[in-house]
Structure 1
Amino acid sequence: MKIAVVDYGMGNLRSVVKALQHVADTADVVLTSDPAEVAVADRVVFPGQGAMRDCMAELDGRGLREAVIAATTDRPFLGICVGAQMLFELSAEGGNTPGLGLFGGDVVRFPAERMLDGQGQRLKVPHMGWNRVRQQGSHPLWHGIADGSRFYFVHSYYLRPSDPALTAAESDYPFPFTVAVARANIFATQFHPEKSHAAGLKLLANFVAWNGKV
């Protein structure tokens, strides 16, 4: 099995590679910016950190857009953090940055006027740390992961899908928001499974074992 981790020059991708190698020690896990290598991979992981506008520019600059879009059509595909955000139509970051448009909806910043906890204390943005994740329905990637497990987040913007059926998980900060989306062979998370200890490694192991069907 060949797993391609898409490298478009944004974020610390080594931790993603190492986590996948840990849960799939017999697989060929490659960090690649070569569209041809992405095209022949059995599974594709699309991570990312940083500003959406920069990520989209780097993706296009390296000629990876079409290879990523093609991978979402016919094999297990996992988006992580900005890699999840880029699947949507538009992000408010950078003055309305167009995404890949594979999912309807947009990506918006946590609104300052709502960032208060139950005691009226202001919450920080970026949202950084561990949050409980509520699974929305069953999915093969949730197998063996208790509902309400904690995952690690680092982000200032969040997913807002136009179709509620896309939402595979929610969390609260301080209001409910979508933290994972799923459709057919695509699963994407706002949180970082590679930094989420046992629950995150289990999700990655489930992805490796997944045939892309629900």
Structure 2
Amino acid sequence: MGEFDEESEDDIEDFIDEEERKFDTNIDQLEKKAIDYNRIRKIDQSKKRAVIESVFDERTIFHLNRLIVNGPLERVEGVISAGKEANVYLAYDTNGKEVAIKIYKIDSNTSRWMRNYIVGDPRFKKIPHNVSKTIFLWASKEFKNLKRAYKVGLSVPEPIHVRNNILIMEYIGFESIPAPLLKDIRKPKDPLQLFSEILNFIKELYNKAKLVHGDL
């Protein structure tokens, strides 16, 4: 999504810099036993191990553990979906409610794609050259865009929290079974009605939230 109004990124830059300092200060002192791996439930099957390890680098585990120790998370379960830029996981908050966690991959390919995507966008006064900072900035903007769309009553997951490359949002599904993606609905009951709803969403996204989806 893209915003029409220009927003300052200084607060996000300050936040990212502070998180970098906290990480650099604390990671050397953090013993492995301080990370509660039992509550970050990695699936042992070899076919899923690569999917998990593609986003669970040392830094992400460190910050994910902080979200578990300090809230709002209670535990992380299995993979909902895996993509080129991010993986989505099922998790539970401290009240036992299902939530979705989107974890962006920290790699140069993802960062390069994001940089190319936002070059020329007036929202971004400063585009970091650092790979991690670029992805942290992207996650923060995704959170803010979701928050804006949700606030005006659009049908989007409620954004809950963002930290670095970790975005926590409302889980759309029932009893650990995620709702199907639009592309996976083979035979909608009323195709014309569904098409009308999509067009109306696009219109309201523009008129109410002042956003345009980047894939349109």
TM-score range (shorter-chain normalised) is under 0.3
Compare the two structures and name the one with the higher strand fraction.
Answer: 1
Compare the two structures and name the one with the higher helix fraction.
Answer: 2
TM-score, normalised on structure 1?
A: 0.25
TM-score, normalised on structure 2?
A: 0.25
